[in-house]
């Protein structure tokens, strides 16, 4: 089964600080995705990538940047964290373009104080 690893598992940040969430996948999947999960909202797409060097905006990109320096790694960057960004963040990878099984990491619980 596809392996997707996120770090850190938990993070507490201060308002206005910079936060970087990391994701690594070892299955050579082209596509990677960042979602956030909040009660009542399900999973919402923040950014995604088709391969190294590419990033695309999802449905809720404001306040977030993404970086895909290699096939294996995909980062989510909060330059100026706000309390509204307190959430659980999931990274996922997939072989095809959207119409494929997504494999999720275990999530990062981010609290912004």
Partner 1 sequence: QQKVQQSPESLIVPEGAMTSLNCTFSDSASQYFAWYRQHSGKAPKALMSIFSNGEKEEGRFTIHLNKASLHFSLHIRDSQPSDSALYLCAVSPNSGTYQRFGTGTKLQVVP
Per CB under 8 A, residues contacting partner 1 are 33, 35, 40-45, 48, 56, 58-59, 90, 96-107
For tokens 């895909």, name the residue.
Answer: 68
Please tell me the distance from the alpha carbon of residue 61 to that of residue 90, in angstroms, as a whole number: 14
Output the smallest distance, CB 78 to partner 1, in A: 21
Instruction: Report in angstroms how near the CB of residue 62 gets to partner 1 at its nearest.
Output: 15
CB of 56 or CB of 72, closer to partner 1:
56
- CA nearest to 79, candidates 19, 26, 28, 24: 19
Q: Which residues pair with 24 in a beta bridge?
A: 5, 73
Rounded to the nearest whole angstrom, what is the least distance from the CB of residue 12 to partner 1 in the complex? 18
CB of 85 to partner 1, least distance (A): 19
Q: Which is nearer to partner 1, 44 or 65 (CB)?
A: 44
Residue 83, sorted as left (phi over 0), alpha (psi -120 to 50) or beta, turns out to be alpha
Between 14 and 99, whose beta carbon lies closer to partner 1?
Answer: 99
Minimum CB distance to partner 1 smaller for 14 or for 39: 39
CA angle (77, 80, 81) in 5-degree steps: 80
């Amino acid at each position: 089964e596809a392996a997707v690893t996120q770090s850190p598992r938990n993070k507490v940040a201060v308002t206005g600080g910079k936060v970087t969430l990391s994701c690594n996948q070892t299955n050579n999947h082209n596509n990677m995705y960042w979602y956030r999960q909040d009660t009542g909202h399900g999973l919402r797409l923040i950014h995604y990538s088709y391969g190294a060097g590419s990033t695309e905006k999802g449905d809720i990109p404001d306040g977030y940047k993404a970086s895909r320096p290699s096939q294996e790694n995909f980062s989510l960057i909060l330059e100026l964290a706000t309390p509204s960004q307190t959430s659980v963040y999931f990274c996922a990878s997939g072989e095809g373009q959207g119409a494929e099984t997504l494999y999720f990491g275990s999530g990062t619980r981010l609290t912004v104080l």
